[in-house]
Amino acid sequence: MGKALLAYFEPARLKRYLREVTRERFTPSTVTGAAELTAELERIRGDGLARTLGERVAGANGLAAPVFGEDGKVVAAVLIAI
């Protein structure tokens, strides 16, 4: 769900996040590198859907979609995890 939200950060806010936040590796699949995460966020914006395959918890997978407010900005995300 976090990537679904990050994908729609204002560009300056995303740049600051990528520069200032240390991303923790939870499993070998966790995306932590700025370049890798940036590419993933671009894909999410194109698809409108975020996917995780064991990134937070080994063996757990999920799909998340952004929820847009009336002003067109993301206000939340919906996650289905298994």
Average the pLDDT over 4-27 and give the result: 96
State the pLDDT confidence band at 39, using cuts at 50, 70 and 90.
Answer: very high
**Domain definitions of the chain by residue range:** 2-81
CATH topology of domain 2-81: Beta-Lactamase (3.30.450)
The percentage of the chain sitting over the pLDDT mark of 70, rounded to a whole number, equals: 100
pTM, 2 dp: 0.89
Bridge partners of 79? Answer: 64
